[in-house]
Structure formats: C-alpha cells, structure tokens
C-alpha cells in the first residue's frame, strides 16, 4: 500500500486534483476581487458567486428571502451527465491522438462533421418505411464515419507530407465550419415549422429518431439525460482496453514515444499516425452525433464564424485526465459540472458563465507543466524514504514521458 502512494499514477491523480483546486481558487479570487471593487455586487454577491463556483450543481435557486439554497437537484445532475457525454468523447479523441504524439486540435471540425452527417441521415430517411431504431444506428454510424474521415485528413497530411498536424487541424476545422454551413444552407432541413426559430435545424425527434432514455430520465427527472452517456462510457472503456491491452495500442504508444525508434522496431509509423487520427476523429464525430441524436437539442447551422467550444474543451478534458481513457470519464464529468456551475452563476448572480471558462483555461495551463508538479510532489513524499529507494524513484522519474504533444 505504501508503494501505491509513491506510484506514478497516484502522483498523476494528485497533480490533477491540485490543478483543479488551484483553478477553482483562482476563479474564486477573481470573483472576490470584483466583489471588492464593484459596489453593486459587494462582498455578499461575491460570496454567493464563490459558493456557486464550488457547489453550482447542488444549487436549488434562491428561496423567498433571496438566499441561495443547496441540495440534490435532479435536473442539474442529469444535465451534467448529458453534457458530459460529448465532452467525454471529444476528450477521448484528443487523448487517443496524444498517445500517438499528435495534438488533435481538430476535434471541433470532426465534431461538426459528425453532427452534419448524423443530422442529414436522421432527418432524411423516412421513418414511415424504415424502423426508427435502424435510422438511429445508421445516423450514429454515419456520424462516426464522417468524423473519422475528417480526422484522417490531418493524419494523412502528417504521415505522407510531414505537415504539422496542429496547423492542418486548424485549417480543417474552419473548412468543416464552412462546408457544414454550406450543406445545411442548400438543404431542406432548416426548421421552418416553428417560425421564431430561424437559423436552426430540425430536432431529430421531428423524424421520430432519438436516443432511448433507458430509464435514466426517471432517476434524474426533468433533465435532458439519455442513454448516450452509457455509450460514451463504453467507448472510453473500449479505448482503455485497446490502448493498454492490445498490440495495436502498444504500437500507437510506441509511435508517440519515438516515431523513429518505432519504425526501426518494425512498426509502420505512417499507418499508425493515420489510424490514430482516424480513430480520434471518429470519437469526436460520435460526440456531435450523440449530442444531436438526443432529440432535444437543435443545431445552429450558420456556424461558419465559430467553432463548437466542446471540441476545444476536449483538450482540457484529456489533459486533466493525463490522457487516460478511464480518467477522461471523470474529467469530462467535472468539466460539465463546471459548465452547470457557470449556468447557475448567470441565472442567480451578477457574474456570468465565462468565469468557468477561465477556470478551465487555468487548469489547462497548469497541466502544461504537470510533469514539474508531479516531480515536486514526488520529492516531497520521498523525504522519509531510505536513500536507495530514493535513487530508484529518481531513475523512474527521469524515464517517464508523461507530457505528450511533440515528437522528436
């Protein structure tokens, strides 16, 4: 048990928790500073804000006296899991690419590609002739494939022409945003049935296609939750098994650790780079697919000027989880928990949801040097350890390539 406290994964967990704590504290500090400088908000408003940052998901609104009340809130809790679903999947997308040493900043574009294919399939196949569950499956697979295709482009460019995947991903993101807008613009899927809702695509329920709730809506009454979260968790577990228990996963990781050494060992590095990006793309595509197949969310189609934030937040999810697919499940839930807190802040106080984006950014910033934090944690814990063990642990530290991103 003592060894477990010294272990690498424990230190990784500790450093993630530390990053979260520092991020939340910085958010609280910012709110406090504004409370001190702004007379209208004042210290009382700041205190409300700080409590909501930490406990937003348990908020039950204000009572008659105007005070915040806290407790189990099935709507917030269920919505947290609902929004965690796409975050887990985009996080998985980024994490899997990181394992091969690739920085998949293209998740927003892959997410859009998945969304687009899914909506077209789910809304175009008439459910009078084809069973809705079959349409659902086709739409989900279509989203998966579209995302995979979009992810494979930077992968191919990287493998064959050695173009930096970051820049290729950024370009494919914007191309996706424009192509998706174009396709929906000339489609007949724009929601014209409800006059006030210009600029949106029909919900998939318009064609009787929706992810089954599997009874989760009974557990979290009034929330948007559905079976999609279970699919996301299953995919994460599947990714964990592939990465850690199969030869293919080992090859992917070998390419990430040292592409040239992997090739020397007989691993086809180019093929693995393309496959890694393709799988990553499929995950991000699945995120968009499942989010809109829920049937209760509408897609704003004229998206050529902006990229979906959930794609970029996938980077934060992956980094916080140290690229561990199982960790991604928890960090995805945490990110959507912050999201709910932000929403409560906007509803209940003078502050707004962007404070939670600041917190996420701080957490990503800290995870950039998580290795340093882990080393520091390790050194602290080792003070009482005998000398020989200390030397061994130091050796282990030197050979842990935890921070991903760059090859060479």
Partner 1 sequence: MSFLIRQTLIYAVPLMIVALAGIFAERSGIINLALEGIMIFGAFIGVAFVRILQGVMVPSPADPENMIGLFDLAYQSKNWLSLQGYMLLTMLISAALGSIFSLLLAFAAINLRADQTIGGTALNMLAPALVLFFVRLIAKQNTLQLLSGDSAKWFMIKKTTLGFDKKADIGFLGETFLNKVYLSTYICILIFVILSIILYRTRFGLRLRACGENPQAAASLGIDVVKMRYAGVMISGALSGMGGFVYALTTANCSANGDVAGFGFLALAVMIFGNWKPLNVAGGALLFGLFKCIAAAYSTLDINGDGIYALANIGVSAHLYRLLPYLITLIVLALTSKNSRAPKAEGIPYDKGSR
* Binding positions for partner 1, rule: CB under 8 A: 30, 34, 38, 103, 105, 157, 161-164, 166-168, 170-172, 174-175, 178-179, 181-182, 185, 304-306, 312, 315-316, 319, 350-352, 354-355, 357-358, 360-362, 364-365, 367-369, 371-372, 403-406, 408
Cα separation, 84 vs 80, in Å, equals 6
3-state secondary structure of 139: helix
Cα separation, 338 vs 135, in Å, equals 34
Q: How far is the CB of 16 from partner 1 (least distance, A)?
A: 14
- Tell me the residue ranges of DSSP E strands in 11-166: 59-62, 68-70
Residue number with CB closer to partner 1 (158 or 203): 158
Q: How far is the CB of 84 from partner 1 (least distance, A)?
A: 19
Residues 6+ apart with CB under 8 A from 255: 100, 101, 262, 267, 269, 272, 273, 276
DSSP state of 189: -
Q: How far is the CB of 161 from partner 1 (least distance, A)?
A: 4
Q: How far is the CB of 112 from partner 1 (least distance, A)?
A: 13
Q: How far is the CB of 260 from partner 1 (least distance, A)?
A: 15
Residue 181 token pair: 């807008």
The interaxial angle of helices 8-37 and 309-320, nearest 10 deg, is 130
Distance, C-alpha 342 to centroid of its chain: 17
Q: Write down the H helix ranges in 321-369.
A: 325-348, 354-368
What stretch of H or E contains 309? Answer: helix 309-320
Residue 117 and residue 158 in contact, taking contact as beta carbons nearer than 8 Å: no
Q: How far is the CB of 78 from partner 1 (least distance, A)?
A: 26
Cα separation, 398 vs 376, in Å, equals 13
CA angle 59, 64, 67 (to 5 degrees): 45
Residue number with CB closer to partner 1 (10 or 365): 365
Residue 275 and residue 176 in contact, taking contact as beta carbons nearer than 8 Å: no
Q: How far is the CB of 231 from partner 1 (least distance, A)?
A: 27
């Amino acid at each position: 048990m003592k060894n477990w406290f010294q272990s690498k994964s424990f230190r990784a967990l500790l450093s993630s928790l530390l990053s979260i704590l520092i991020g939340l504290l910085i958010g609280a500090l910012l709110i406090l500073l504004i409370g001190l400088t702004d007379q209208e908000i004042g210290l009382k408003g700041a205190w409300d804000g700080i409590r909501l940052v930490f406990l937003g998901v348990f908020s039950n609104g204000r009572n008659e006296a105007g005070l915040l009340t806290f407790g189990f809130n099935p709507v917030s809790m269920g919505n947290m899991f609902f929004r965690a679903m796409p975050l887990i999947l985009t996080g998985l997308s980024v994490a899997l690419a990181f394992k091969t040493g690739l920085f998949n900043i293209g998740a927003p574009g892959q997410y859009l590609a998945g969304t687009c294919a899914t909506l077209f399939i789910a809304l175009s196949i008439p459910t009078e002739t084809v069973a809705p569950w079959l349409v659902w499956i086709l739409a989900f697979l279509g989203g998966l494939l579209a995302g995979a295709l979009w992810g494979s482009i930077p992968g191919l460019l990287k493998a064959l022409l050695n173009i930096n995947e970051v820049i290729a991903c950024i370009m494919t993101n914007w191309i996706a945003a424009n192509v998706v807008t174009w396709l929906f613009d000339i489609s007949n899927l724009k929601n014209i049935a409800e006059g006030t809702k210009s600029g949106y695509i029909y919900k998939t329920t318009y064609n009787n296609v929706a992810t089954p709730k599997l009874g989760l809506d009974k557990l979290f009454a009034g929330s948007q939750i559905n079976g999609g979260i279970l699919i996301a968790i299953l995919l994460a577990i599947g990714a964990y098994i592939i990465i850690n228990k199969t030869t293919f996963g080992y090859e992917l990781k070998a390419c990430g650790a040292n592409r040239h050494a992997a090739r020397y060992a007989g691993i086809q590095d180019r093929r693995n780079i393309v496959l890694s990006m393709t799988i990553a793309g499929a995950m991000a595509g699945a995120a968009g697919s499942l989010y809109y197949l829920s049937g209760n969310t509408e897609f704003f189609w004229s998206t050529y000027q902006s990229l979906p934030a959930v794609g970029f937040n996938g980077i934060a999810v992956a980094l916080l989880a140290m690229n561990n697919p199982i960790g991604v499940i928890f960090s995805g839930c945490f990110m959507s928990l912050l999201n709910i807190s932000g929403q409560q802040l906007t509803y209940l106080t003078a502050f707004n949801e962007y404070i939670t984006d600041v917190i996420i950014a701080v957490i990503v910033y800290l995870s950039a040097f998580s290795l340093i934090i882990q080393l520091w944690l390790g050194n602290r814990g080792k003070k009482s350890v005998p000398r020989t063990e200390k030397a061994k642990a130091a050796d282990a530290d030197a050979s842990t390539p935890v921070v991903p991103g760059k090859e060479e």
